[in-house]
Amino acid sequence: MCRATADWFRTAPGTHVWLAVLAVTSAVAAGLSPDLRSYLLHHVSTNLVELRIHPVRVLFASAFWIETPSALLFYALVFELVHATAERWLGTVRWLMVVALAHVGATLVSQKAVLFGIRDARLPRSLAHTIDIGVSYGLAGVVGVLAYRVPAPWRWGYLLGVLAFFTYPVLHKGTFTDIGHLTAVLIGLCCYGLTPQAAAPRNSRAPGEPAPPA
């Protein structure tokens, strides 16, 4: 049992290191007073103010905090179902590339929507200082790229369900976070080039499959 558990963790190291960091930051956040926790999370948030002053720092740091520390067990389950599956399939480096592209791309698009909303007086100026942290954009991006892991014809049902799930909130007065989630899924779908199918040689064949005629 211990060896099987160790093998399980070893085959998706990035996922479990990320979870371990989230466990530490969640414990830290849970031990702070509400005012101090709010102060801390504002300074690791990818809101307009922090992105303008410390863009690299907050884009990195925001992925290691969750706004509700008590939700850690839920995220642990989702990480095992989504991130660990994708990391074992893609490999750690390519999985991390998908996560980073989705997290950064969706953050920038969603905050640009906030900027336009404030400029056009459709959103309150306080959103420029809002708390915007978490792992959901990277998670949504991986959900998107996993469409290529689902065999046909089930892939189309999976894809339709994912797009419907993330598009519905945007079309029904969704928040900037909903826009970010949909953007992240679309970024994940654009990552086909990182999948094993795309990396495989065109002339490769399954074991036992006869060679094409000369």
Query: Do the Cβ atoms of 139 and 64 come closer than 8 Å?
Result: no
Domains observed in the chain: 2-195 (1.20.1540)
> Residue 192 in contact with residue 147, Cβ under 8 Å?
no
- For residue 213, give the DSSP letter: P
DSSP 16: H
Q: Which of 58, 34, 60, 30 is nearest to 46 (CA)?
A: 58
Q: What percent of the chain shows pLDDT beyond 70?
A: 92
- Residue-wise pLDDT for 50-104, tens only, equals 999 999 999 999 999 998 988 999 999 999 999 999 999 999 999 999 999 999 9
Write the single-letter amino acid at 194.
Answer: L
**List of residues 6+ apart from 183 with CB closer than 8 A:** 105, 106, 109, 110, 137
Which amino acid would we find at residue 5?
T
Could you read off the pLDDT of 105-157 as tens digits, one per residue? Answer: 999 999 999 999 999 999 999 999 999 999 999 999 999 999 999 998 999 99
